[in-house]
A and B are shown apart, each in its own frame.
Chain A
Amino acid sequence: MTTDNSSTEVEVRRDASGLPERFENPGLAPHQERMADNDPVADKRAERQVVILFALSVLGTIGFLVAYFLVPPGETVASMRLSNLLLGTTLFLGMFSIGAAAVHWAKVLMSDHERQEQRHPQRSDEKVRAEAIAQLKDGAEDSGIARRGVLKGAVVTALALAPLSIVVPLVGEVGGDWNVSKFRHTLWKQGKKLTRDPSGEPIRASEVTVGSVFHVIPEGLRDEELWIEEKAKAIVLMVRIDPNDLTEREERKDWSYEGIVAYSKVCTHVGCPVALYEQQTHHLLCPCHQSTFDMANEARVVFGPASRPLPQLPITVDDEGYLVARSDFHEPIGPSYWERLK
């Protein structure tokens, strides 16, 4: 046996003066007797305590059954809470008391004499190791795997290919149609009315007063087969800002309408709906990680982990004065992904 595998052990090495180099383990400390060890009265008392605890558990279980039959959750949050409270506390009594009884029993009545057991190194000894290796060698010899090269190749190939019958259909089907270019488009297109979320009523420009916030979905959203997926991409937040406060670059001047601006409501960080609008500062805060966008200035990021402004939805009004989209967003909405700009 090499010492590599042996445990750290007290070695008795001595220095010049004959004192050991390190202290020696004094061995187990003397045992301390408990009250119930010698005193029959204390012993009886301890036993009684354990019995009482078990009895409490029985009471708890009975209480639980009573609560179950007599106090159903009912119609309101309050009655439901009551049912829950009674069931929970009685279950607690039923379970906890068993635990307390058993632990108490072990602590006061069972032997508290420490015992010891020997440990052995994990490593098998040399003889066993040699035998194990010999067995493997014999087996390999038997199979002839080393000699039969083609056979070895055949086994490996067959085993390597077989899982494909599971993996290929799984990967083929699990991602639906795998058409990841869908991220690029939303339901918005030219002439699509901006409507209220969730009612779907169209919105007139005149209803949008300075400072009010509109949560917007495209008209006809609910007629779509995959409306939840479409909604997840198409949600828009619309506000009217005093045109004097609004900074717009030249080529986007016609994306807003008389100070009404509409931006994607999907955070460009990791996609939460951005919903907390602060009228005074024109700041829009994402509640998830506090990215803050300046709605008066192209929804640029003023704080937080988002990198990009929210994409703007170009809007105008139709003949009847309803707000409509001029086109889809000009870039993919939501969080970034590898091929976003391709």
Chain B
Amino acid sequence: MSTSTTAAQRAAGGTADYLDQRTGISLAVKNFARKIFPDHWSFLLGEIALYSFVVLLITGVFLTLFFVPSMGLVEYEGPFAPMNGVEMSEAFASTLDLSFEVTGGLLMRQIHHWAALLFMASIVTHMMRVFFTGAFRKPREVNWLVGFILMILGLAAGFTGYSLPDDVLSGNGLRITDGVVKSIPIVGSYMSYFIFGGEFPGEHIIPRLFTVHILLVPALILALIGLHLFFVVLHKHTHFPGPGRTERNVVGFPLFPVYVAKAGGFFFVVFGVLALMGGTMTINAVWNYGPYDPSPVSAGAQPDWYMLFLEGSLRLMPGQGTEWDLWGYTLSLNVLIPAVVIPGILFTLLAAYPFIEAWATGDKREHHVLDRPRNAPVRTATGVAILTAFFILILAGSNDLIATHFALSINDITYVFRVLFLVTPFLAFWATKRICLGLQRKDRELVLHGHETGRVVRFANGEYIEVHKPLDEYERWIRVHHEPRRPLEIEPAEDEHGVRRKGYRMDAIRARASRFFYEDRVEPVTPAELAAAHSHGEHDALPAGEPETQEIGAGSGGGRHAVTGAPLPDEGDTPRPSVQDH
């Protein structure tokens, strides 16, 4: 036994030496093998995206070996009797063959499709995690943009793949695309010809989509994933606040062996779950839809979930009076607004958010400790508002299913959704902000007064109080670690000579924006406040809910609030002492 071990070790050593002499790989191993990564379940979301992409690559390559990207017409002959003799494109016929004749082919198709849905779902939730924890702040803004482009590419990959089998559903999806493209002012008709190589549907679209789907988009995604991960290593992963976690360190476990096992293992978990989905849940049973033909259409058809918001947006737009005639040219606002303008606003807002927040708050420092979402109420509320709008659009994209399912009138549902789309994002913003501030207040309560123990004590003078157990310093830290954030102070409009200063207007806008972010706020407990709370009564006797924190502004809307403690200097620009790490 021991001799064989040494033989194996000797072989490994020999190989390592061979490689090192030619690549100097030891340096990389030394630097990376024990790199520290922090642990949190929400950090898995990005991993799920990565692994579903790998599964897409594996199953996708399998599919390319059998799929025929051609719109040439053939008559189906094969094991699936109901289609015998039906005229169809080679693309559709080969998809049938993949499903019925290639053993395991259907499994690969279904895993591929489920993986596509999971890929987009994990990208979106991963993005939500990054957004709500403020992980996009400096120095990670660039990586946020890389991630944003990955999301768009994911949409492109899904859309082009969905259209490949050339069935009735996806064909009508392409026709909708054609209609949307044609609505674009001036160049619309030409863009339609650009895409289809002539009139819709033509015979080029499937081969073109195929190249985009299996070469262009995956190659871009692969390259950008590489860049994305490179940035993660370069910046080192953020970590959640906690005892011992600072802006100057990263606390977690080493890559080798812990993350090699955990993350590597997690790939197999994702693959396994997708295999189970592909094995047990039918998806895109194209043999039921039939090959594409411009005439038939089926009701209740749904695009993949990540396209539903567009569908919903198209459905909600009222058509009356929204097509304009401009000097004989046609401007179809009924299509442009829902299909171009609204997604445009949604996506631009997402892509630009890190820069908007940094500008408005004047924050130019690096951040490596994540925010708890409650500690950034306006950001959290903005995120929830965007999600709400997105969610309403998704629901609106299924309004026909909702109508048939709940036996409601489709018209009524549409009217209701129109109102909801315009109103709920604002409600959601308001409610979320309230909730965040409330949670922060609760944190303060807890820090100041400790846990309720349920133990009631009676004093000699007849007074009853409940004993509160103070938090230990580790428990307390998570609730007091964050720095108080306050609106920017700006210099007066005029200097001492009464001359109006340049750039004042911009500063004033910025001050307004920063007030929007930080005017209503609850600040973390300071040691002085805690000491004061303790000295109020020897027995920690302050009942919860005493108006102890009211002066802190607890954000009852509107006006400015008195703030305890000395005002901080303007955060970004004023030099401040900071602790050195060595």
Contacts and interface: CB of A to CB of B under 8 A. Distances in A.
Interface in A36-82: 68, 72-77, 80-81
A96 B182 contact: no
Contacts of B266: 99, 103
Contacts of B579: 9-12
Interface string B337-369: 011000000000000000000000000111111
A270 B313 CA distance: 13
Contacts of B483: 8, 22
Interface in A274-298: 275-276, 287-291
Contacts of B259: 106
B279 A89 contact: yes
Interface string B187-217: 1111011100111111000000000000000
A333 to B, nearest CB: 12
B103 A73 contact: yes
A189 interface: no
Interface in B47-77: none
Interface stretch (A109-117, A130-138, A238-246, A254-262): A109-117
B272 A92 contact: yes
B179 interface: yes
Nearest to B250: A117
Contacts of B335: 269-270, 305, 335-336
B34 to A, nearest CB: 8
Interface stretch (A139-147, A155-163, A170-178, A313-321): A170-178
B328 A341 contact: yes
A306 to B, nearest CB: 5
A287 B197 contact: no
A206 interface: no
A29 B268 contact: no
B273 interface: yes
Given A8-B366, A304-B319, A95 B271 contact: yes
B265 A106 contact: yes
A339 B190 CA distance: 11
A148 to B, nearest CB: 35
Contact of B179 (A20, A97, A177, A270): A270
Contact of B35 (A11, A117, A171): A117
B563 to A, nearest CB: 13
A250 to B, nearest CB: 24
B404 to A, nearest CB: 12
Interface residues of A, number: 117
A226 B198 CA distance: 11
A17 interface: yes
Interface in A230-244: 231-233, 235
Contact of B481 (A23, A115, A275): A23
B323 interface: yes
Interface in A321-340: 334-340
A110 B261 contact: yes
Interface string A183-220: 10000000000000110000000000000000101000
Interface string B288-328: 00000111111111000000000100111111111101001
Contacts of B330: 336-341
B454 interface: no
Nearest to A3: B575
Interface in B219-246: 234-236, 242-246
A337 B188 contact: yes
B276 A92 contact: yes
Given A99-B267, A115-B254, A336-B332, A301 B320 contact: yes
B443 to A, nearest CB: 13
Contacts of B121: none
A104 B257 CA distance: 13
A74 B101 CA distance: 8
Helix, strand, loop or mixed for chain B's interface?
A: mixed
Interface stretch (B17-25, B104-112, B540-548): B104-112
B250 A301 contact: no
Interface stretch (B7-15, B376-384, B432-440, B521-529): B521-529
B301 to A, nearest CB: 7
A5 interface: yes
Interface in B470-526: 473-474, 476-477, 480-481, 483, 524-526
B193 A176 contact: yes
Interface in B91-136: 99-107, 110-111
B581 interface: yes
B279 A91 contact: yes
B30 interface: no
B474 A26 contact: yes
A85 interface: yes
A342 B268 contact: no
B235 A122 contact: yes
B175 A95 contact: no
A164 interface: no
Contacts of B526: 15, 19, 21-23
A99 B264 CA distance: 7
Interface of A: 2-12, 15, 17, 19-23, 25-29, 68, 72-77, 80-81, 83-89, 91-103, 105-107, 110-112, 114-122, 171, 174-178, 180, 182-183, 197-198, 215, 217, 226, 228-229, 231-233, 235, 265, 267, 269-273, 275-276, 287-291, 301, 303-308, 334-342
Closest 6 CB pairs of A and B: A88-B279, A96-B272, A270-B179, A102-B265, A99-B268, A28-B244
Interface of B: 35-36, 79-81, 99-107, 110-111, 139, 172, 175-176, 178-180, 182-190, 192-194, 197-202, 234-236, 242-254, 257-259, 261-262, 264-273, 275-280, 282, 287, 293-301, 311, 314-323, 325, 328-332, 334-335, 338-339, 364-369, 399-400, 410-411, 414, 473-474, 476-477, 480-481, 483, 524-528, 531, 565-566, 572-573, 575-579, 581-582
23 contacts: A5-B366, A11-B578, A15-B528, A20-B527, A23-B476, A88-B276, A91-B275, A96-B272, A99-B272, A102-B265, A102-B268, A106-B257, A106-B265, A111-B253, A111-B258, A117-B249, A271-B175, A271-B176, A272-B176, A305-B315, A308-B323, A336-B332, A337-B330
